[in-house]
Amino acid sequence: LCGADQAALTPSQQKHILDHVGALGHTGESGSVHLVLSDDLKKQIAVVGLGPESAKEQNEVVRVAVANGIKRLCANKVSSVSVGPMPSAKAASEGAALALYSFDQFKTKASAADKPKSIAYVADKASRKQQADEWRAGEIYAEAQNWARDLMNTPANFMTPAIFAQRVQEELHGLENVEVNVYDAQWAQEQRMGGLLAVSRGSEQPLRFVEIVYRGDLSSKDVSLAMVGKGITFDTGGYSLKPGRHMDLMKGDMGGGATVVSAMRAIAKLQMPINVVATVPLCENMISGGATKVSDIYTSRAGLTVEVMNTDAEGRIVLGDALHYTVEKHQPRAVIDVATLTGAMVVALGELYTGVFTPSPKLWSRISTASEASDEPVWRMPLHDVWDSMLKSPVADLSNIGNKSEAGACTAAAFLRHFVRDSAKTAENGDTQKTVPRDQNNDESLPRWAHLDIAGPMEGTTAAGHHHKGMSGRPTRLLVELANQLSKEKL
């Protein structure tokens, strides 16, 4: 990486750099950075390590290497940077854009002055057009994650449900083949969304429901993928009040919604040949005289009655209505909900992995492949009849939490599945499916469903490589990559 605008290095320049780093003992260890000066002493050059030859094709190695190099040059206040060539132009672009992220809009002295004004990629002559396209695609992927970071990092008084919806309208305005609909409480009432209304009742901030429809495949009316994102813009826990410690993180409890709308922006910008829908139920979970109380019962959009045994298990309540609406209206072949749902998932997998619940081996295979391509780690979690039995209520069809202090992430997933299956009209073989089938880990009936619990990855606690300390914006790139793969081969 060179701290200046320039074309590819000449052979003599390359020799000068190699001689310099060799004298310093630089062995090319993955992620390492060594700064040298050009032979005319006018340019700073960051030599980054990609590790052994066998590791050069690993995209994450490239992301980290470029991110570290960019950060090192920025620390020396360079005005422009040239990157490349790298084993993956897309990964290099992602590493550069993600590394330069900062959230300082509320600081009186922003850090933008330390960022380079331009970053260019120096491609190999033989594949210049292809690498330029890959670099641009990487920028779009990374910009999507950075927008999700912005949405999640913004404090709740500046990111109410109404403001979130407005931001989505502004960001997606003018993108080809995109329709954005924003609905209010009256519409939610007409749609029988008793869960969303119940959770929003304690807040003075009015609820919103965002629906994004992208038609990238005009030859078909089928919706290949639907994404539903949890949109709790601040979560106090309601009357099941959260402890004060770390409650500040609850400004990011709409992380599922943030990643979903950000992924839609990238999908539209890339004009992927696929039809995708996204929905986000938006509200706050607050305490007031009108707030939902423990033991209250509401009627969901699916017609199921639910006893609220914990008001801090509100995410699944709003998602249930949103899933039912999305599946019934759009009849997608696959539907994925994304939510910062349970502390149990943080205990199980920490901040690295996203927990994935799905009864469909085929959908799991696609998510796993997208995970490998985007280097967003996922781990498949189990579904079982036992989780359903733990959701029984003596006074309603369901309880919103399990009746034991165990398997919290699993019972949350089991709860959500009731609202997918109940709204499904047609299975792949033409049979009607209105109940949860017994075989919970080998079910290919439509719509194929997956639940992504991102409670762990929502926050980054390290600033290493391309990561940012604070709200992470993950797994936005995984969602974009999944749509990309489904656009090439339908599920």
Catalytic residue numbers read 242, 316
Bridge partner residues of 438 (DSSP)? none
**Residue type at 55 in one-letter notation:** A
Q: In what helix (H) or strand (E) does residue 123 lie, and over which residues does it extend?
A: none
Around Cβ 74, how many Cβ atoms within 10 Å? 17
Let me know how many helices (H) and strands (E) the chain has, helices first.
14, 18
Tokens linked to 241: 């009040």
| Contact present, 324 and 423 (Cβ < 8 Å) | yes
Spatial separation of the C-alpha atoms in residues 239 and 231, rounded to whole Å: 19
**Residue type at 210 in one-letter notation:** V
Spatial separation of the C-alpha atoms in residues 478 and 263, rounded to whole Å: 9
Instruction: Count Cβ atoms within 10 A of the Cβ of residue 90 and give its class: 0-12 exposed, 13-18 middle, 19 or more buried.
Output: buried
Which segments of 116-223 are extended strands (E)?
118-121, 178-183, 208-215
Tokens linked to 198: 């119940």
Q: What's the longest Cα–Cα distance across the chain?
A: 80
Both ends of the chain: CA-CA distance in Å?
40
237: alpha, beta or left, given left = phi > 0 and alpha = psi -120 to 50? left
Around Cβ 215, how many Cβ atoms within 10 Å? 17
Residue written as token pair 């060539």: 85
Instruction: Give Cβ neighbours of residue 41 (< 8 Å, ≥ 6 apart).
Output: none
Spatial separation of the C-alpha atoms in residues 307 and 296, rounded to whole Å: 6
| Contact present, 287 and 238 (Cβ < 8 Å) | yes
| Contact present, 56 and 37 (Cβ < 8 Å) | no
Tokens linked to 102: 């900062």
Q: Which of 370, 382, 364 is nearest to 448 (CA)?
A: 364
**Residue type at 91 in one-letter notation:** A
Spatial separation of the C-alpha atoms in residues 394 and 380, rounded to whole Å: 32
Spatial separation of the C-alpha atoms in residues 306 and 293, rounded to whole Å: 13
Q: In Å, how far from its chain's centre is CA 354? A: 10
Instruction: Give Cβ neighbours of residue 487 (< 8 Å, ≥ 6 apart).
Output: 216, 217, 224, 272, 273, 274
